Amino acid sequence: MVVELLIKDLLSKGKELRLKALEMYFNAHAGHIGSTLSCIDIVASVLLLSKNEEDEFILSKGHAAVALYVTLNKIGKISDEELGTYYKNGTKLPAHPAPNSINGVSFATGSLGHGLPLSVGIAKSKKLKKDKSTVFVLLSDGETNEGTTWEASHFANKHKLDNLIVIIDKNKIQGIDFSENVIGESASFKKLSDLGFEVIEINGHNVVQIINTIEEIRTHYNGRPKMIIANTIKGKGVSFMENTVDWHYWPMSEEQYNQAINEISNAF
């Protein structure tokens, strides 16, 4: 019943979170909009689902910080007033998360490839302390270009970190091009399975799948770290942003903002 209520709550919040994110980006004249829209369902699902105060969530793809900020606002960890300071001088909410600046952000991220190494260290520490909480980390698929991601994956397998749930936001686009044109298919089911992960592939915009998958695998104490490949669409919900490289960086004009909020309002 609790999970069913959570799913219902998330389905109703999807539009609200997206509209708030668009407002923040427009007011700040900032980019990375497409990256936030591809992962906002994942971030909201993980944070709202977490049952244990000791659970850890690392947003390795720190350029999607707005997805984290609007969700923390929704669960009462960031005030509306604080949210309005995004990207401004003196803010605690910079373009990439800053460590210990706000409740819910323990580590700086955005230097890609570092989130998984950090997370396996935390997961190993929890194992040593016999702490039953879970470590979640959200990666971009572009981060699978990074050698540190693969080194950390080997470590997670070697040390049987079954308290680690890695989620890849597989929108198939990174900063300079489509991922397949940069290094090929690095975030593949087979490659990740071969590393020792228990791998599940889902629709990263379907909150029912996201929540049910996490609920199912988080208690699989089988000695295998968990990997969720979440297939997503960059710029999800805004027609001129979807599946485009440019909207990794571009800010919105007023005309584009008005079109974006109109499309989101009618689509969700």
Q: Is 78:103 a contact under the CB 8 Å cutoff?
A: yes
Beta strands in the chain (DSSP E): 56-59, 135-140, 164-170, 198-203, 226-231
Which pLDDT score, from 0 to 100, does residue 235 have? Answer: 97
pLDDT in tens, the chain (268 residues): 456 666 777 777 889 999 999 999 999 999 999 999 999 999 999 998 876 778 999 999 999 999 999 999 998 999 999 999 999 999 999 999 998 888 878 888 988 999 999 999 999 999 999 999 999 999 999 998 899 999 999 999 999 999 999 999 999 999 888 988 988 777 788 888 888 999 999 999 999 999 999 999 999 999 999 999 999 999 999 999 999 999 999 999 999 999 999 999 998 7
Q: Give 20's DSSP letter.
A: H
Tell me how far apart the alpha carbons of residues 65 and 113 are, in angstroms, rounded to a whole number.
16
Which pLDDT score, from 0 to 100, does residue 5 have? Answer: 64
Q: Give 258's DSSP letter.
A: H
Domains with residue ranges and CATH for the chain: 2-267 (3.40.50.970)
Nearest to 42 by CA among 206, 233, 265: 206
Nearest to 236 by CA among 95, 44, 92, 3: 44
